[in-house]
Every structure is written in structure tokens, then in C-alpha cells.
Amino acid sequence: MTTSAPDAPAATPAEPAALQRLHPLTPVLRGAKFFLAVLAVLSYRELPQLGVGRALIGLLAVVVVAFVLSYASWRFTWYRIDGKELQFESGVLFRRSRRVPLERVQAIDIVRPLVGRILGLAELRLEVVGQGNTEAPLAYLTEDEAHRLRARLLALAAGVHADTPEPDETVLARIPSRDLVISVLLLGQVVIGLPLLAVAAVGLLLIDIRAFLGSLPALASFALGIGSVSVRRLLVEYGFTLAESPDGLRLRHGLLETRAQTVPPGRVQAIRLVQPVLWRRRDWVRVEVDVAGYAGGDEGQAVTGALLPVAPRAIGVHLIQRVLSGVDVAAIARRPVPSRAAPLDPVQWQQLAIGLTPQVLVVFSGRLRRVIDLVPLAKVQSLRLAQGPLQRRLGLASLHVDTAGRRLATTAAHRDAAEALDLFHEISELARAERELRRRVTR
């Protein structure tokens, strides 16, 4: 499968890695995906009108076009590891050559869609800070190849020799399916939304069957709205396993489409510990992480972002301790906001608090759904202090902490203004110390 690209520079003898193609079944899989999408639309609407004969001819044409396009795109796609970079060549008419410096890789995922699993194929995704979507999707490779390549990329990203074998991992947590299902059923939208919907449906049915039938589409779409989020969570987070190895945290999850994510050490920009109100009795928490590079656009990531979908608090706290090297959430002293903040946030002002250690800023919030945000100070990009007119009258100010993550925004709201200014200086000093420490270590 090794061919040299027509416009690639002549290979130097010192360059051992040749340009490689993706797996030859790639066009089949891509074409099949496209075909299935067309089929779904077609069978739903048009098939009865078109007649079987014409429909078959149309489908055949779609198959041919899809296959030819996928084949052409496959034919012109190459990749290779070139020193400390991944080189990625693609495009039929407009050629694109991309080089991804491996030191900058924020996370590596192996995604196996359902059809891919049947054929034994997987997609390797490299996340780099940038435009938002995955920068170099290597789709598709054989599963073995994907794993081998990931090991090489991670080794290079960590600065060791590419042939270093993948280090062993220790499993930190395995989420039982039973807990996951219960936790999703205990979410507010399910507990309140679904019974409300049922009551509405039964009520309508008893009053007037025609009104019921008329409102059926609305009811169905509402149910689908509640259901799809929960079902999606179940599908994406099913069989969740979290493991730790020297090359980073490893997450494996998914029911139909499985995903194996690797987050190299020190890539976590922020962590959030969430506890919806109905999880409180079991003392379950959910741990979410923010890593630079994952944008909200990627559907799988947008739903999850979870480091632990559901686990007893002790495990969550322990996990945070591991990821943020020794930060103990339970032991951090809370500094509440002054009672002057009550008029500005009557619901949750009593829960608003912060904690600060030399390594991390912790922000507590949420009345029913308790949230604890943690930002490692080494990751702080900038700080912002803001004071609206009401806050000025009450002598309050809000402190925003910006990191390179895109999903979790951290705000210490309604602090005493003088304290906020002190915090502003203190945090920027601590962050500077942390940055300098890191720089000395890496040099």
C-alpha cells in the first residue's frame, strides 16, 4: 500500500517512513455511509411514488457516484510520520498538504463506527488546538494499525523513541451499566419531563380523542427531544472504562460506535464535578473535563466530555486528585460570597463560593444541580474582572478565568470588589509561578 505522491519531494535516504494510503476498504465504507443516508431519505418519502424499477436505477446511480467519489478521494490521500510531525496529503482537485507537530497534540481518539466494527476498521483522530473540527482524521485504518499508530504518535508526542512499546495501563474506574441507566433516569428532564408528558397525553386522550391525535406529533417530538439526549448519553457512555497509563488518561466507551480516547498528561484545561439534585441521595457525581482542541461541534464529544459519567463521590474526588496531581476537592476551604450578593442571585448566592490553592482555583455554584469547577492555574490564559452598575452599587465584582478549553467557562461571580481585585493579582501571580515552574521542568 505504499506509493509516493506525485508531487511529494524525492524521498531522502534518511527518511525511512514512506507515504501510506488509508485502508483500501475506506471508499466502500464511506460510500456505504452516504448510500445509507440517501436510502433513509428516499424510502421515507419518495419510494412509493417512484416505483420500484426507477428507484433501483436511481439507487444504483447513487451507489456508483458515491463509490467513485470516495475512491478518488481515497486514491489521493496519504499520510506518514515524518520526524516529529504527521504529514497528511489529501484532495483530488485542490491538493492539501498538512503537517501536524506531534508535540502539540492535545488528544488522540480511535473511533469505530458500527459499520467499521463489522469490517474491523477504525478512524484515528488527532486533536490539535485550531479551527474546531478534527484536524487530521485518519479514516479508515485497520484496528491493529490504528492502535499501533496511536502508540507511535503518543510516544513521539511524549518525546521518546517512536518504537517504544505502549505502556501498561491501570484501570481507575469501570462504570456498571446499571448505574449508568439509573443515573440517566434520575436526570431532571427525564424525571420531570416524561411523567408530565404522560399526564398530558392521558389527559388529552380522556378529554377528546381527536385533540389527542392532533397533538400526537407535538407530543412525539417533545418525547423524542427528552429521549434523544438521554438515549444518546446511554449510547455514547455505555461501558465506560477509565484507565491511566504513563502516556495519559485512556477512556473507552460506546455501545454502537465505540470510542477510545487518550488524553496525554497535562492536557486538561479544566475539570467540572456535577451533581444533579436526584443523585444526591446516592452521592453520585459526574466528572467532566475540558481539553483544548475539542470543539462543541463534534457530536460525540459534545454529548459526553465526561471523564466519569457517574460514580460515587469518593471516586470522583480521587480521580481529580490524580489528574490535578494532589488537589483534594473535599479538603479545600470555601470562601463564600458576601450576603450583599443575595439580590443579584437570589437562588444560588448561598452556594457561590471559591477556594484557592497555589495550584488550582475552585469555584462552587448551583442550588439544585451542584457544580464544582476546577481550573489548574498553570492553564490560565487570561483573567478578566467585570463590574456591572448594580454590582458597583453593592461593592461586588465577578472574576472570569479563561483557559484554552471551549466547553467549561469558569466565573467566580459576585465577590466582594476589594477581594476580587486581590484575587485578580493573587491568581495572576500564582499562575505566573506555575508557568515558570513548568517551563523550567520542560527545559
Contact positions toward other proteins, by CB under 8 A? Answer: 104, 106, 129, 267, 269, 292, 379, 381-389, 392-395, 397, 400, 402-406, 409, 417-418, 420-421, 424-425, 428, 431-432, 435, 438-439, 442
Burial of residue 313 (number of CB atoms within 10 Å: 0-12, 13-18, 19+): middle
Q: Which is nearer to other proteins, 361 or 431 (CB)?
A: 431
Considering the complex, what minimum distance in angstroms separates the CB of residue 191 from other proteins? 33
| Kind plus residue range of the DSSP H or E element containing 140 | strand 136-142
| Contact call for residues 308 and 176 (beta carbons, < 8 A) | no
* Number of Cβ within a 10 Å radius of residue 277: 15
Q: Which is nearer to other proteins, 105 or 204 (CB)?
A: 105
Classify each residue of 210-230 as buried b or exposed e, where b means 16 or more C-beta atoms within 10 Å of its C-beta. Answer: eebeeeeeeeeebeeebbeeb
d(CA 293, CA 106): 6
Q: Which is nearer to other proteins, 155 or 401 (CB)?
A: 401
d(CA 271, CA 251): 15
Q: Which is nearer to other proteins, 166 or 298 (CB)?
A: 298
Considering the complex, what minimum distance in angstroms separates the CB of residue 321 from other proteins? 22
Considering the complex, what minimum distance in angstroms separates the CB of residue 172 from other proteins? 24
Considering the complex, what minimum distance in angstroms separates the CB of residue 50 from other proteins? 47
Considering the complex, what minimum distance in angstroms separates the CB of residue 82 from other proteins? 22
Instruction: Tell me the three cell numbers of residue 409.
Output: 467557562
d(CA 407, CA 288): 10
Instruction: Tell me the three cell numbers of residue 374.
Output: 476546577
Q: Could you tell me which of 131, 113, 133 has the C-alpha nearest to residue 122? A: 113
Q: Which is nearer to other proteins, 280 or 340 (CB)?
A: 340
Cα–Cα distance list, 6 to 21, 69, 87, 251, 269 (Å): 13, 20, 15, 39, 41
Considering the complex, what minimum distance in angstroms separates the CB of residue 133 from other proteins? 15
Amino acid code (one letter) for 137: P
Considering the complex, what minimum distance in angstroms separates the CB of residue 392 from other proteins? 6
Considering the complex, what minimum distance in angstroms separates the CB of residue 2 from other proteins? 34
Considering the complex, what minimum distance in angstroms separates the CB of residue 292 from other proteins? 6
Q: Could you tell me which of 414, 427, 354 has the C-alpha nearest to residue 387? A: 414
Q: How far apart are the first and last CA of the chain?
A: 40
Q: Which is nearer to other proteins, 150 or 379 (CB)?
A: 379
Q: Which is nearer to other proteins, 45 or 443 (CB)?
A: 443
Q: Which is nearer to other proteins, 270 or 310 (CB)?
A: 270
Backbone angles phi, psi at 124, to 5 degrees: -105, 125
| Contact call for residues 376 and 323 (beta carbons, < 8 A) | no
Q: Could you tell me which of 143, 153, 82, 97 has the C-alpha nearest to residue 116? A: 143
* Matching residue, cell 516529529: 84
Q: Which is nearer to other proteins, 183 or 410 (CB)?
A: 410
E strands, 22-120, in order: 78-82, 85-90, 96-101, 107-112
Q: Which is nearer to other proteins, 300 or 405 (CB)?
A: 405
Considering the complex, what minimum distance in angstroms separates the CB of residue 151 from other proteins? 23
